[in-house]
Structure formats: structure tokens, C-alpha cells
Chain A
């Protein structure tokens, strides 16, 4: 049974007002338990709107969203969803409210009704997982932190809940290269070892091509493609979509093919590109 089932979902902001915007239009999608689903699409295509339906923050105007077997249109069920579905917002400032980092990260565990010892363990553990030292950071106010450090605290706060479903809206934005690798490895590990279901929005095709089991592509509120990274990448017209550009190593492969070089444009990973160019160079130099 899928953990997330979205059936013909539509959502309109400010209906009837001048800024009315149909942000989602007939989206149907499902995510299996333990699956890693990537979501891409241009700015304004509806990614954040879609995933805010997964923890009950938004309620469908049309269609249905069923999470862990529960229809989210029932208010009471929607209110319980936060225990199962952890959502990391696009901007960390959207979710950091408490006076200290410790209070912020422990907010979830406290609300789950855990004991003080367990709360402390989970909070410190989550901070360490995102590369922060609890001793030096726990007592600081989040507003005193740099942008990337706030991002890490926001992620830690959701990890501390140990949710069944982890939904992340551009989690690597603002992270430095070490932080990016650390968080991506962590997410992958949660999926592989704890069978946590992952939904991750990202503008980095490179990230999604290496991590996701499946990718969903949104354009102007509509779902225009879903499939394995390879299927999506090679779907006709995918690269012509607004806002979508290949990672640099694939741009290289396609540009070379365009100049008449014999390279396989059917690849998706950086390591494959390396092999292709290696072979091409050997061919050229062998002549």
C-alpha cells in the first residue's frame, strides 16, 4: 500500500481574490513505503504547494490526499499527521520560533510526550547528525546563526521527531559542500536503513539523479512526468521544460553529440560521463 496517495489534487490560492492562482491542477501521484521520491520543476511550478499537502498544512480543494491510509480532508486526522510526516520547509525561518536552538530542536519530541532524558538524547543526536556540536550551539538563539547553520537546525528539528515520512523542501539550499554531502548521505541512510519514506524537492538534477528512486516533474501546477531518473531524463521534451537544465557533465555529453562525436547520450550519472569521454579520447588519440 502506498504511504502517500494523491488523487486528482487541485489547489487554488486566494480563490475569488485578485491574486487567485491555481497552483495545482489535477495531480495524481503515489509514493510507496521506503521509496525516495524526488520532485523538480521551475520556480512557481507548485512543488512547495504539493508537499504541504503531505503533512496536512494545506487541504485539497479538489481531489484527495491519503497519507498512511488516512484521508487528510478530515480535520482531526490532519492535526495528527505531524507525528508521522516531518516537513522541512523551504526557508528555515519558516520553522524556527523558539528562544534557543535546544528548545527549537526539542519542540517535536516534547510534543510527542517523551521523557526529559529521551528528549535530550534525541535533540543532541539530531544536532550531531547535521554537523553541529550540541555543547557550543544548543543555548544560542537561532536568530544569531548564519543562514546555513539555521538550515541545519531546522533539519535537526524534524529528524528529532524520527518521522515515518520525511518531506524536504530544497534541504541543501544554503548548505556548504560538506554540509550538502552530509545531509544527502543522512537522508539516503534513513531511507536504506530505517525504511523512512523520503520526498525531496530540489533544483539540482544531479542530486536527484543519484539519489531518487523516482522523480516527479511539475510544470505550472500539472504533473508532466514521473519515472525513474533515467526514464524522466530521456523522456521527450523533458529538457525543453522551462527552468530545467542538465547538470554540466551531461551538457558536455550532449554538446559533443551535437558536434558529431560518438558518445552515448543515454547516460545519467557523472561516473558514466567520465567513462564516455575516456572512451572518446582513446578513440580520437588512437587514430
Chain B
């Protein structure tokens, strides 16, 4: 198995939902995520996104097939600690993740367990708290925070780990627009500067326009895959009920009005530059 990647080979995951009932959440998925990639993962409710995330960090095991992280089989339970060092997670609900009674300790938990030196731990905590805007609340109790603030603590804890792979399950769902913007910028920075592989799950297409690759799940299968631009312009994307970011919708509407605008435009900046060059 190739090191420096996450590989899922013919992975199926079934959950027991009663004595004789099963739910197939992932259906024979084969997928490679390479070190250094920024991957966006989208899909309708119940399509299997969180299941995929939990399989990658070894929290659950496939019913059939194999998951490898840097060549290590997640089913090899002796290696689970090793896998958790490589894969950092932000869970969909922050309550499932917060471990300490004080924000700062919660953020320190990861780097301390990775065996970082005290200076390094401090530097990482300070940075992660600044990056999420939680610096002022560092001595607060996480369970006494607002919904979005809790989510920021969970994000800061994962950012401070600087793992090889960072899997974020709808981290922007409760963030205000400013917090959302900051998070995406920080993820881009970690990806570019430290080569950290990012897998970002979201229902908001604006969050994933900068991804190298966008994967669309549907009923446990990979439905579409490509660059965000390729996916946004795919007929199948629309017919399944997805909508591209507002700017892409705007471009497409203006084209219908007869303006020959560049179809490759997917961000506000690109559109501004395009119009100003005309």
C-alpha cells in the first residue's frame, strides 16, 4: 500500500438498525486521497459523508473492504493510536468531541498527546485560539459556550494537532460568516504551507470552491467527482437537486440573458476582475 495517502478499497458499511434490519450507509466505495490534497465532500442528508469520515479515522470499521491510512489498515486495532496521530477530526456535533472543562486544555490535548515540547504546545494553542477567534475565551468552560463558540473550540483543537490529514465534518454549520471565512482561509493556509491534507464536508458549495477535488456522495456511492468547476457545471449535479455557489448561478443566469461570460468563474474576485477587464 502506498504511504502518504488514504485509501478506501471496496468499502461497504452497514449499520444494524433493529434486530433484523440493516442500513447500507456506504456501498462498495473505492477512493484514494493523496497527501497534500484539499478535498471537498458534499451530498444529501444520509448519503454517507459522516460514515466515510468515521471510517477514515478508525472510529468505525467497514463491514466489507479495507481502509488504509499511510498504508496502515484501520482494522489493525494495535495501530489505532498511530492512525489517530495522522488523522485529526472535527465531528459534526462538537459535544461529541470536547474533553476538558477548560477551553485552553481542550485545545492543548492533541499536541500534548502527540508528545510535542511545551514551547511547541504553547505556540500551537496560541495560534489555534487566535485563528478561531477564541483567544479571549481561553479560560472559559466549553460546555458553557454558545453553539458556534463550541464549534470553534472543536475546530481549534483539531487545528492545533496539525495532523497529516484533517477531516472536518460540517465545521461551518454554526459559524457566523466571519468565522466561516476565517476557517476556510486557515485551512487553505495549512494545506499550502504545511502540506496538510484537508477533507472538508459541507452543505454549502461556497465552502468548497477552492478545493482541488470535489466528491459528491449519493446514497452511499460516489455520484460525481472532479474539480469544483467541473462538478458545478455538470448536468447531473443540477438534476440531483444541488445548486452551485451564488456567483456560479449568477454567471449562468447572465449567460442565459445572452452575455458571453467566462463559464470558469466560480468566485466573487474572479467575477470582479472579469468585468473590470471588459
Contacts and interface: CB of A to CB of B under 8 A. Distances in A.
A37 to B, nearest CB: 19
Contacts of A173: 173-174
A244 B44 contact: no
Nearest to A152: B45
B58 interface: no
Interface in B118-151: 140-141, 144-149
A245 interface: yes
Given A91-B95, A175-B45, A255-B272, A180 B174 contact: no
Contacts, number: 151
A209 to B, nearest CB: 12
Interface string A161-182: 0000000011001111111100
A14 interface: yes
A147 interface: yes
A281 B146 contact: no
A260 B15 CA distance: 58
Interface string A2-36: 00000000000110000101000000000000000
Nearest to A178: B241
Nearest to B242: A177
B144 A174 contact: no
B35 interface: no
B54 to A, nearest CB: 11
Contacts of B193: none
A226 B278 CA distance: 40
B147 A273 contact: no
Contacts of B115: none
Given A44-B145, A249-B246, A252-B247, A144 B17 contact: yes
A93 B95 contact: yes
Given A19-B140, A176-B45, A249-B246, A281 B179 contact: no
- How many B residues touch the partner, as a band? 35 or more
B92 interface: yes
A57 to B, nearest CB: 15
A175 B254 contact: no
A19 B141 contact: yes
A98 B149 CA distance: 28
A90 interface: yes
A90 B272 contact: no
Contacts of A14: 144
B180 to A, nearest CB: 8
Q: Which of A145, A152, A251, A259 has the most CB of B within 10 A?
A: A251
B50 A176 contact: no
B178 A146 contact: no
Given A48-B147, A147-B93, A277-B250, A285 B278 contact: yes
B272 A170 contact: no
Given A43-B146, A147-B93, A243 B176 contact: yes
B77 to A, nearest CB: 24
B223 interface: no
Contact of A180 (B141, B203, B261, B271): B203
A248 B272 contact: no
Nearest to A144: B17
Interface in B83-109: 92-93, 95
B174 A170 contact: yes
A146 B179 contact: no
Given A144-B15, A252-B271, A277-B254, A149 B46 contact: yes
Contact of B250 (A175, A178, A249): A249
Interface string A242-266: 1111011101100110010100000
A273 B152 contact: no
Contacts of A255: 268-269, 272
Contacts of A245: 177-178, 181
29 contacts: A14-B144, A21-B144, A41-B176, A42-B178, A43-B147, A43-B174, A90-B147, A145-B46, A147-B92, A147-B93, A147-B170, A148-B44, A149-B45, A152-B45, A176-B43, A176-B45, A176-B241, A177-B241, A178-B241, A203-B177, A203-B180, A205-B177, A242-B178, A243-B177, A244-B177, A274-B257, A277-B254, A280-B275, A281-B254
Interface of A: 13-14, 19, 21, 41-44, 48, 90-91, 93, 139-140, 144-149, 151-152, 169-170, 173-180, 203, 205-206, 242-245, 247-249, 251-252, 255-256, 259, 261, 270, 273-274, 277-278, 280-281, 284-285
Interface of B: 15, 17-18, 23, 43-46, 50, 92-93, 95, 140-141, 144-149, 152, 170, 173-181, 203, 206, 241-243, 245-247, 249-250, 253-254, 257, 259, 261, 268-269, 271-272, 275-276, 278
For the complex of A and B, the 10 pairs showing the least CB-CB separation, nearest first, are: A148-B45, A43-B148, A243-B176, A245-B177, A176-B44, A248-B246, A90-B147, A243-B178, A178-B241, A173-B173
